[in-house]
Amino acid sequence: MASTLPASSMKSSEDSPTPPAKRFAPGSGGSSISSTPAPDEKRPLTGKRCVDSDGVYSVERFRRYDLALRLFSTISKGRFAGDVSFPDSNCRRKVYRLVFDLLYHRGVIEEMLIESGFYSRNCELHGQQTLVQLMTYDYQQWKFSLKLPREDLENVPTVMLTVAKALCKHRVRLNAALARMRVKSNAQTTSHLMTEASFAKYQAVVTQPFHVRINASKVHNLQRGVISPLCEDGYTLCAGREELKKGEKRFWQQERTLLAFSPDAREAFLHHPLLSEGLLVPQDSASYYLVEAIRDLIAQCTGDVILTHCNSGAEVAHIASLLSRGSRVVVYGVLPVQMDSLKRSLHAQEIDTLPDVDFVHAPFTTADSADLSNASVIICLPPSSLSTVTQPLDFILQEGDHFASLLLSEKRQQLRNSLPREQNSTLAPALTSESAQIFCPPYCV
């Protein structure tokens, strides 16, 4: 009979469709944008374009607005966010962050627009509220200082240029309206104008440290392999999370093989040599602690380690790196949309030199005793990492878009109720194994 190990502690409807005379080609990543100028428009100059320099409305900035608008519409309708394609990971990160921020600040931005009289002076934009809110949020993030370019942009949708010009013309009134709102509410920032509950949820996400795991299969001397190179690169080792300040190059050794950086460090690490060489691996803290809790058990396995759900490629790679030769990781419930992120995580750690990893598309609830005959450990997971609740942006950018429609909205708290129930459903088939030890990690904050 299988033994069970005790777990240690641990409406937003879219506005009327945008009817621009010109529209960016879906997923366009270069300078090519398909469009047909309206008869009353001036045909843009060819060969000229504005780079995405800070503080200027540019082709790249307008393209991000277009992608963000489509992503917002997709998420609002509960559809798979992966339907929106991005030219590169940097654009993807900026668009997701813009949409995430708008979802929380939408009420504040709309109040500011009404308070300033924006719609009464721009009646033609009444049907474009989501686009106006999106661009207004970005505008106030730049302290109402974004400037229109001095040259024509290539094939930018007319409605976006109209909004940009209206915002620039309305700059003083918008700034004054926001100032009045902040004085009235005694709010230090725009975010403090949100309801107390929304602000708490927003802060819980944006203040989460960026975590990386030290890849023990490649790093044999922690000081020489990781700590010293980071210090030589200008980073300072600090004593705790409270010392991780935004904009400062600091890191905290949270555990022996887990480092924490400030929340805004992800961008700086995108092309860091320690990451590109696989010495450091981005991994959410929840999945890290899940694996480390049974580290010794995994290392002693002679058979299969079975995961009942596929949550994180970093999680799978972490487990595989601990196994001895002859063992393998079997992951159930793998969706086709997850394969790319899984392969990236495994390839980054050269898992092909480690035990095999098998992906099974069928759900674990279809497994029988024959499928589990070689199992040494069965890890009964909910169909989502805890970090999909506490760190949605990091999880989406690292692992994919599968849960984006829930993760990027305040409704993500519903996962706390539904996911544990699905986790419990994996226990029945797991108990049919006569040889495996079963680990059922707690799903709580």
CATH number of the domain within which 393 lies: 3.40.50.150
In which residue are the tokens 């086709």 written?
A: 336
DSSP 9: P
> Is residue 193 domain-shared with residue 70, that is, in the same domain?
yes
> Is residue 268 domain-shared with residue 311, that is, in the same domain?
no
In which residue are the tokens 């819980």 written?
A: 204
Q: Where a domain ends, among 142, 169, 197? A: 197
Q: What percent of the chain has pLDDT over 90?
A: 42
Average pLDDT over residues 7-17: 39
The average confidence (pLDDT) of the chain is: 81
Average pLDDT over residues 141-157: 86
Instruction: Tell me which residue of 44, 56, 64, 38 sits closest to 150, measured CA to CA.
Output: 56
> Is residue 192 domain-shared with residue 105, that is, in the same domain?
yes
> Is residue 93 domain-shared with residue 191, that is, in the same domain?
yes
Would you state the pLDDT for residue 86?
Answer: 87
Q: pLDDT tens digits, residue range 94-126?
A: 999 999 899 899 999 999 999 999 999 999 999
Cβ(153)–Cβ(50) below 8 Å: yes
Q: pLDDT category, 251, cuts 50, 70, 90?
A: very high
> Is residue 193 domain-shared with residue 65, that is, in the same domain?
yes
Checking if the pLDDT of 215 tops 70, the result is yes
Residues 403/407/410/415 CA torsion (nearest 10 deg): 60
Structure tokens at 259: 């480092």
Q: Is residue 12 part of a domain?
A: no
> Is residue 423 domain-shared with residue 295, that is, in the same domain?
yes
Q: Where a domain ends, among 141, 162, 197? A: 197
Higher pLDDT, 78 or 44: 78
> Is residue 251 domain-shared with residue 369, that is, in the same domain?
no
What SS3 class is residue 424?
Answer: helix
Higher pLDDT, 344 or 354: 344
Q: Is residue 20 part of a domain?
A: no
End-to-end CA distance of the chain: 31
What Cα–Cα distance (Å) separates residue 378 from each residue in 41, 313, 332, 371, 428? 64, 17, 11, 12, 12
Q: pLDDT tens digits, residue range 189-200?
A: 999 999 998 898
Q: pLDDT category, 317, cuts 50, 70, 90?
A: confident
> Is residue 233 domain-shared with residue 295, that is, in the same domain?
no
Q: pLDDT tens digits, residue range 350-394?
A: 655 555 789 999 999 999 888 999 999 999 987 666 566 667 777
Out of 15-19, 184-188, 231-235, 310-314, which region has the weakest mean confidence (pLDDT)? 15-19
Instruction: Tell me which residue of 195, 202, 211, 222 sits closest to 279, measured CA to CA.
Output: 222
> Is residue 164 domain-shared with residue 251, that is, in the same domain?
no
Strand pairing report for 250-255 and 258-261: antiparallel
> Is residue 249 domain-shared with residue 319, that is, in the same domain?
no
Range of the domain at 230: 207-282
> Is residue 105 domain-shared with residue 246, that is, in the same domain?
no
Would you state the pLDDT for residue 29?
Answer: 38
**Total domains, the chain:** 3
